[in-house]
Amino acid sequence: MSGERRPGDPRAEQLRARFHGIFGPRDLPVPVDAIATDLLGLLVADVDGLPVSGALLPHERRVLLNAAESRESPGRRRFTLAHEIGHWVCQCDEGRAASPQIFCRAADVETNEGRDLEREANIFAAELLMPEPLVRREAARGRGRAQLAALFAVSEPAMAWRLFNLGLGARPEEG
Amino acid sequence: MAERAADLFAQYRAAFERGEHPDPRPYLERAGDEEDDLRTMIDAFLVRADVPSPSPEMVAVFEAWLRNEPPLLELRRQRRRTRDEVVDALVGTLGIDRAKRAKVAEYYHRLEAGLLDLRRIDERVFSALADALGRHPTGPTVARLRPAGASAYFRSVEPGTPAGALPPLPEVTPEAERDEVDELFTGRSP
């Protein structure tokens, strides 16, 4: 990750607003599975033996998640799902893009374009799962990083980066 | 008076006047030996009926199709129904064993995503969907889509993981194990 703070992505906020407008308001944590399934019409499946954390198959409107990781860390699963939703919204235009330009996989990550797309999806995921106003509100109530991570159902490292990017915490150790 | 035909005609007319563009075939199939009576009633009605303006809901569904979004997804969203609610309704209405719910969910996803051959789907599925969504899902609501591209996006565990190692997606059911759920969604002769 770069050392610079990142802005959020308004498309994530718009997506949450669309979901709440149709299916009604929900308490935290952000209902990322319902956003994928009920709003976007994606099928989400946890798959044993998947050699990656997550994969989006646009032509099938299907997200595959690494089942072992899901069992190990539900928070990481949510972030991976939000990341794939980011690809679906930002690069696939929710399926309206006739041909997504990027075939993003390990071999492509070294290209600037691949890195940019992964970064965009990560920013989207953070904004989707950890909405800035709610994080600020809960942080102002004196909740610590671990409490915030539990409240938003994300991993502590993900929350640490979010707090840093919102200017609410120190830069996490990379590792 | 052909009471069965009259009752079915009243249902057809009500659906037509709601702007649903109902398909007469399911009504005719349910008319039994009064099918000819019902056909005459519908023909006479359609000759003089004004074509109703489409409802805002149907406009939204058609616009979704123009955007290459699944129209059935848009209809479900318009009705504020979750996918689980629709799948549960299909399982219940079609009298499917709850143990086979996951298979129904997989097929419903393929139907909603425009990935199934509509000609092979049993009419009972459409009738059950009509109960679940309040509209018979024919015509534009289940139109097939242009493919959304054949690429895939990965989030890698480890840098350098070979993306080509993804397992192929299995068929819903191996040929030797097909059951009534497979028959409902893929079994009808085109």
C-alpha to C-alpha distance for B177 and A59, rounded to whole angstroms:
27
C-alpha to C-alpha distance for A1 and A24, rounded to whole angstroms:
35
Residue from A99, A105, A111, A120 to probe the interface with B (highest B Cβ count within 10 Å): A105
The reported pLDDT for the residue numbered B66 is: 77
The reported pLDDT for the residue numbered A163 is: 95
The reported pLDDT for the residue numbered B147 is: 52
C-alpha to C-alpha distance for A148 and A126, rounded to whole angstroms:
13
Local confidence band at B158 (pLDDT 50, 70, 90 cut-offs): low
The mean per-residue pLDDT over the stretch B121-127 comes to: 90
Q: Mind listing the pLDDT tens digit for each residue in B49-102?
A: 887 677 777 777 778 777 778 889 999 999 999 999 999 999 999 999 999 999
Task: Provide the percentage of residues in chain B whose pLDDT is more than 90.
Answer: 43
Residue A142, helix vs strand vs coil: coil
Q: Do B149 and A84 touch (CB under 8 A)?
A: no
Tell whether omega for the bond before B170 is within 30 degrees of 0, i.e. cis: no
Residue from A43, A50, A72, A92 to probe the interface with B (highest B Cβ count within 10 Å): A43
The reported pLDDT for the residue numbered B91 is: 98
Closest CA to B42 of B53, B30, B54: B30
The reported pLDDT for the residue numbered A108 is: 41
Return the amino acid letter for A171.
R
In the predicted structure, residue B162 carries a pLDDT above the cut 70: no
Cβ atoms A94, A133 nearer than 8 A: no
- Contacts of residue B112 in chain A, CB cutoff 8 Å? 41
Interacting residues of A147 by C-beta distance below 8 A, sequence separation 6+: A138
The reported pLDDT for the residue numbered A6 is: 65
In the predicted structure, residue B28 carries a pLDDT above the cut 80: yes
Cβ atoms A162, A8 nearer than 8 A: no
- List of chain A residues with pLDDT < 70: 1-7, 98-114, 175
Tokens of B52: 């109703």
For chain B, what is the mean pLDDT?
Answer: 82
Q: Do A34 and B82 touch (CB under 8 A)?
A: yes
Question: A–B: how many Cβ contacts below 8 A?
Answer: 137
Return the amino acid letter for B144.
R
Local confidence band at B166 (pLDDT 50, 70, 90 cut-offs): very low
Cβ atoms A126, A44 nearer than 8 A: no
The reported pLDDT for the residue numbered B174 is: 79
CB-CB: which of B69, B145, B166 is closest to A51? B166
C-alpha to C-alpha distance for B115 and A84, rounded to whole angstroms:
21
CB-CB: which of A57, A80, A97 is closest to B155? A80
- Contacts of residue A66 in chain B, CB cutoff 8 Å? 157
DSSP-assigned states of every residue in B122-182: -HHHHHHHHHHHSS---GGGG-------S--EEE-SSTT--GGGPPPPPPSS-GGG--HHH
A137-146, B15-24, B31-40: lowest mean pLDDT where?
Answer: B15-24
Which chain B residues touch A if contact means CB-CB below 8 Å? 67-70, 73, 76-77, 80, 82-84, 105-106, 109, 112-113, 115, 145-163, 165-167, 169
C-alpha to C-alpha distance for A24 and B160, rounded to whole angstroms:
42
The reported pLDDT for the residue numbered A1 is: 46
